[in-house]
């Protein structure tokens, strides 16, 4: 069975500061990992994905994430936060052993302050 | 290229009524997924369909819920005899199902169901 844990349901940063959103996964098979962003009353937009190629993955809007197998982590970072980054962020895992369903974490609400 | 289209965006039903949620996948996508998001929670998988087939319904409640993806037309998630606990946002996603991008799911804007 697969699972995802997102540490910190709420994260607050100052504009221009580093953004770090944590995600740890549990999977019995090498996983596909995803970060999605959800703006209020909207659907989920794919930020980036890891599919067993490069361990450092670059996504849209300046975000990137690093897959660390030894730590079973896939933390999301952005060097400099912008007000428009305020949203909810979801980490998700999909196993490669069959089945296409995504298992999501409970989400991290990012607040960006002036 | 239109994205995943869901309608209605908002749906209000009284207890005991039926709710029908529609999802049109992205052009060229033959795989559809339904997820439910309860307040303050992440998305929970419900069902995975390909045209005319249910592939995985392990997340569907045993009663009152059903889903279909006919050969023609949108995918439908049907909830019979709704109860207040069914109030949630229901998201549909689609994927091509093959190739390097086959496992990437693209989401619609969701249907927010409110049960009075």
- What's the pLDDT at A112? 97
CA distance, residue A114 to nearest chain B CA (Å):
26
Using one digit for the tens of pLDDT, what is the confidence trace for A101-114? Answer: 899 999 999 999 99
Spell out which residues of chain B touch residue A94, defining contact as CB-CB under 8 Å: 103
Cβ A63 vs Cβ A47: under 8 Å: yes
Q: What is the mean pLDDT of chain A?
A: 90
* B1 interfacial to chain A (CB closer than 8 Å): no
Contact across the interface for B59 and A101, Cβ inside 8 Å? yes
- What's the pLDDT at A35? 96
Cα(A69)–Cα(A105) distance, integer angstroms: 18
- What's the pLDDT at B101? 58
CA distance, residue B103 to nearest chain A CA (Å):
7
Q: Which residues of chain B have pLDDT under 50?
A: none
Residues with Cβ within 8 Å of B37's Cβ and at least 6 positions away in sequence, in order, are: B43, B44, B88, B89, B90, B91, B110
- What's the pLDDT at A64? 97
> What sign does the dihedral A67-A68-A72-A78 (CA atoms) show?
negative
Q: Regarding predicted confidence, which is higher, A54 or B80?
A: B80
Q: Which residue of A23, A100, A105, A108 is the best one to mutate when testing the B interface, meaning the one whose CB has the most B CBs within 10 A?
A: A100
CA neighbor of A91 nearest in space, from A47, A48, A35 = A35
Burial class (CB within 10 angstroms; exposed 0-12, middle 13-18, buried 19+) of A21: buried
* B69 interfacial to chain A (CB closer than 8 Å): no
Using one digit for the tens of pLDDT, what is the confidence trace for A25-46? Answer: 987 767 789 999 999 878 899 9
**Which of the listed ranges A17-21, A47-51, B93-97 does the model predict with the highest average pLDDT?**
A17-21
Q: Give the residue-averaged pLDDT of A5-34.
A: 91
* B104 interfacial to chain A (CB closer than 8 Å): yes
Spell out which residues of chain B touch residue A27, defining contact as CB-CB under 8 Å: none
CA distance, residue B37 to nearest chain A CA (Å):
10
CB pairs under 8 A between A and B: 61
Chain-centre distance for alpha carbon B88 = 12
Q: Give the residue-averaged pLDDT of A7-28.
A: 93
Cα(A109)–Cα(A106) distance, integer angstroms: 10
Q: Which residue among B56, B97, B109 places its CB closest to the CB of A101?
A: B56
Using one digit for the tens of pLDDT, what is the confidence trace for A80-98? Answer: 999 999 999 999 998 655 5
Q: Which residue among B31, B100, B112 places its CB closest to the CB of A100?
A: B31
Identify the closest residue of chain B to A41 by CA–CA distance.
B109
Cα(B40)–Cα(B32) distance, integer angstroms: 24
Q: Which residue among A43, A90, A94 places its CB closest to the CB of B103?
A: A94
């Amino acid at each position: 069975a697969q699972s995802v844990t997102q540490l910190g349901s709420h994260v607050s940063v100052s504009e221009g500061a580093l953004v770090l959103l944590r995600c740890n996964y549990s999977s019995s098979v090498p996983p596909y990992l995803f970060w999605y962003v959800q703006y209020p009353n909207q659907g989920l937009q794919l930020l980036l994905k890891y599919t067993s190629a490069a361990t450092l993955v670059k996504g849209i809007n300046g975000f990137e994430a690093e897959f660390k197998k030894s730590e079973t982590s896939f933390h999301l970072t952005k060097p400099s936060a912008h007000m428009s980054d305020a949203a909810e962020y979801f980490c998700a895992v999909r196993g490669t052993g069959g089945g296409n369903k995504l298992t999501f974490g409970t989400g991290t609400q990012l607040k960006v302050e002036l | 290229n239109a994205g995943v289209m869901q309608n209605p965006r908002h749906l209000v039903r009284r207890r005991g009524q039926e709710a029908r949620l529609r999802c049109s996948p992205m052009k060229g996508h033959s795989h559809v997924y339904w997820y439910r998001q309860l307040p303050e929670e992440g998305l929970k998988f419900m069902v995975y369909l390909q045209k005319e087939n249910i592939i995985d319904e392990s997340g569907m409640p045993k009663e009152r819920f059903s889903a279909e993806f006919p050969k023609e037309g949108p995918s439908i998630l049907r909830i019979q005899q709704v109860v207040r606990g069914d109030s949630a946002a229901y998201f549909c996603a689609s994927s091509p199902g093959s190739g390097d991008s086959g496992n990437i799911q693209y989401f619609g804007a969701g249907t927010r169901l409110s049960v009075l």
